[in-house]
Chain A
Amino acid sequence: MTNRSARDEIMSSIRSGLEKFAKAPEPVQQAVAERAKMPDRESLIETFRHFAAEEAATSERVDGSADVPRAVVQYLLANALPLEVIAAGQIISGRPDWNRAGELDIVDRPIRADGDTVVTGCFAGLAESGAVVTISSPDFPNELQFLAATHIVVVPAGRIFADYESFWQIAGQEFATGMPRSMNWIVGPSRTADLGVPSRLGAHGPSRLHLLIVNEPGVDERGGDEPGVDE
């Protein structure tokens, strides 16, 4: 459907505009790799939690992935929320023991109405800004996290990166064969300042974002998800 003449005309206009400059320079050096020096993993995790909290996300540490369902239950009870959750496949598939105690009512359906709780994994955490990074995949229809009223994210402590540079380095390797359709950096719940100050939470998406930081090396090494396996 591309109109070739429009494309050619725009390109030729760009090239004639650029003629007066010397040959295009080499790409600029990539940004500040050394900016967020955080010596040890513990301080990295604490920085991540601190910055997430500044954006109204809550978080807690969990000893191992086996303890995640229990932590979800406690969070829901503490916030007077129903014990019904939609759990992303990346979290529960292949784990028959995940909700062993049977405390949670795990439902599998698309979200239409408002008020659901969604539990998802994540690809990474970014200490520099307190954001979690999620990626769409066959076992994670990522609109769930934008339609839910409460979003609980399981963050493997070993996948928290100090800065964007170190994140992109690993992401570049793991997505060498192609980027996921949607990669989402999420810091704090959905928010709007269009109804005056202070800004209000829960504009369209979740009004609660809770991070469960799993202390063991990782839920299934990489947050229970297999990034890039959706070819």
Chain B
Amino acid sequence: MRTTSRRFHTQVREALGNDTLRTSLDGVRRVMPQIRAAAVDQCDDFSALCARAEAVRRDALLRLDQLLEKFEQKVIESGGHVHWARNGQEATEIIADLCAAAGGRRIIKSKSMVSEEIELNPALETAGYDVTETDLGEYIIQLRGEKPSHILAPSLHVTLEEVGEAFHAHHDIERDTPPTEAGEMLLEARGVLREKFLSADVGITGANFLVAETGGAVIVTNEGNADLTMSLPDTHIVVTGIEKVVPSLADTGTLLRVLARSAIGERLSNYTTFVHGPRQAGEISGPRKFHVVLVDNGRSALLGSEFHDMLRCIRCSACLNHCPVYTAVGGHAYGSVYSGPMGAVLTPAFAGLPGTVHLPAASTFCGHCEAVCPVGIPLVQLLRRWREKSFSQSLPAAGERFGLRVWRFVNRWPTVYRAVTTFGAMVIRSLSVPGSDRRRWIKRLPFPGGAWTQHRDMPAPAANSFQTRWRQRRSGRES
């Protein structure tokens, strides 16, 4: 997987300087945690559901070989074909061959993170195919030649005005100025994409889950675009990761319950489709050919490794929406199609640590991501493991490594720790000014704290440390 994560710091600076992006991200920070919390509150057994969902995913991974074999057998029984790809290149070659066999040039796609990961569109376009994304967000970024900035809302960073400009530039509609109304743009996209749906030769979708007992693929959308993508063209290709398989249809119910609530604060997404093979006897519609391309691309190497738990991920994006780093810098800063906490764990695994070493470092370890993960992935622990690895491989810059060594020294000597933190807190507090909220804030810190206060104020440390207050409290009680 290719990334630009090496340029993380530059990309962060660009993101922080982009006011429209920050407005969009403020929206995510304000709205998404709220709607998830409301959906969770309405559900009287959400934590029990999450525990079940975690158990389903945990169990599935431990029997992954058996489940994949069963899945393959069932797909073949239903008249479909299963293809195995060790890496992204193999996957794109397999899909290009399937498209060639389908005999047409027009491909429609619904949103699939695996297809982004393996860079499917550029590969197919190079091979001469006309590829159209049909999820509206993906369509918008395709027109703009961009990558997704959120795994669920890929065009999060694009303003309505910019959407209008993209439509104006690419749609063959006579007019003088770009559309400005969302309703107008919706109708326009609906019309343009309907033509694409009706004339496509191949439909490519991802899969949220695969079902071993029946050979089914479960695909979830709100727009219904995946359903048109998989029912109108003559060939349907599902491309997904090998880790997506679960034992039974009933298991998907458990996962669907936590997926929609975690992702968009709904009980269920608008369209959930269980697809099993090609057109059946007597049917007058539906694809005649059904293929599933199972992509490894680094996943099997994670099984049984210290990052094994990450394979439970169901791509709900709750960890992104609750992350103070993601909601400050957005997805593009990460330089990977997978961003936020889940991306900071997955990207080094798929693309190698040397080029992605900044991502695991981009976390405050506040633990919000872990707290909202519906399948109990210990994201902070996994990020820490990447940091340990990067330190032991001397990947961080010399200054950073020196700083960590100093910090380790200070931490190992309680007397030194107390002296340093007391003095440090005193100095920092002396720089603070009273805020309108009756707390004290620091507007500008000297190096190396300047990076913090460049974009936001820092709360002043308390006058006394916890340890000091604890000592005072105990001595007060004892006297």
Interface residues, chain A, with chain B CB atoms under 8 Å away? 1-3, 6-7, 9-11, 13-21, 24-25, 27-28, 30-32, 35, 51, 55, 112, 114, 128-131, 136-138, 141-143, 146-147, 163-165, 167-168, 171-172, 178-197, 199-200, 202-206, 230-231
**Of B69, B216, B228, B303, which contacts A204 at CB under 8 A?**
B228
**Binary CB contact string for chain B from 223 to 255 against chain A (1 if under 8 A, 0 otherwise):** 111011011100000000010000111110110
Interface pair B270/A55, CB less than 8 Å apart: yes
Interface pair A24/B48, CB less than 8 Å apart: no
Cα A9 to Cα B297 with chains together (Å): 12
Interface pair B249/A14, CB less than 8 Å apart: no
5 A-B pairs with CB atoms under 8 Å apart are A25-B59, A179-B274, A179-B276, A185-B273, A200-B183
Known: A31-B254, A205-B223, A230-B280. A171 touches B296 (CB 8 A): no
Interface pair A200/B182, CB less than 8 Å apart: yes
When C-beta atoms are compared, the residue in chain B nearest to A168 turns out to be B250
- Give the A-B contact count at a CB cut-off of 8 A: 258
Interface pair B228/A10, CB less than 8 Å apart: no
In the assembled complex, B31 has its CB within 8 A of some CB on chain A? yes
Cα A136 to Cα B274 with chains together (Å): 11
Interface pair B227/A184, CB less than 8 Å apart: yes
**Binary CB contact string for chain B from 306 to 336 against chain A (1 if under 8 A, 0 otherwise):** 0010000000000000000000000000000
- Size category of the B interface is 35 or more
Cα A228 to Cα B269 with chains together (Å): 26
Cα A136 to Cα B83 with chains together (Å): 25
Cα A11 to Cα B186 with chains together (Å): 45
**Of B55, B223, B230, which contacts A192 at CB under 8 A?**
B223
Interface pair B198/A112, CB less than 8 Å apart: yes
Interface pair B185/A195, CB less than 8 Å apart: yes
In the assembled complex, B49 has its CB within 8 A of some CB on chain A? yes
The CB with the most chain A CB atoms within 10 A, among B59, B66, B267, is that of B267
Interface pair B304/A190, CB less than 8 Å apart: no
**Of A137, A195, A203, A206, which contacts B283 at CB under 8 A?**
A137
Interface pair B242/A185, CB less than 8 Å apart: no
In the assembled complex, B45 has its CB within 8 A of some CB on chain A? yes
In the assembled complex, B137 has its CB within 8 A of some CB on chain A? yes
Cα A69 to Cα B283 with chains together (Å): 26
In the assembled complex, B206 has its CB within 8 A of some CB on chain A? no
**Of A18, A179, A191, which contacts B304 at CB under 8 A?**
A18
Interface pair B303/A193, CB less than 8 Å apart: no
Quote the shortest CB–CB distance from A32 to chain B (angstroms): 7
Known: A18-B304, A194-B153, A204-B134. A146 touches B231 (CB 8 A): yes
Known: A51-B267, A204-B134, A204-B190. A183 touches B296 (CB 8 A): no
Interface pair B190/A202, CB less than 8 Å apart: yes
Interface pair A197/B222, CB less than 8 Å apart: no
Interface pair A32/B190, CB less than 8 Å apart: no
The 3 closest A-B pairs by CB, nearest first: A17-B303, A164-B253, A205-B224
B84-92, B403-411, B419-427 - interface stretch: B84-92
Cα A20 to Cα B404 with chains together (Å): 33
Q: Given the complex, which residues of B lie within 8 Å of A141, measured CB to CB?
A: 283-286
Q: Given the complex, which residues of A lie within 8 Å of B308, measured CB to CB?
A: 17
**Of B65, B68, B283, which contacts A136 at CB under 8 A?**
B283
Cα A182 to Cα B283 with chains together (Å): 11
Interface pair A164/B250, CB less than 8 Å apart: yes
Cα A185 to Cα B155 with chains together (Å): 26
Cα A225 to Cα B435 with chains together (Å): 68
Q: Given the complex, which residues of A lie within 8 Å of B31, measured CB to CB?
A: 197
Interface pair A143/B285, CB less than 8 Å apart: yes
Among B198-224, those with CB < 8 Å from A are: 198, 214, 216, 222-224
For the A-B complex with A6-B85, A190-B271, A230-B283 known, give 11 more contacts whose Cβ atoms are closer than 8 Å. A11-B69, A17-B305, A18-B64, A18-B65, A25-B59, A129-B267, A179-B214, A182-B227, A190-B223, A193-B222, A194-B137
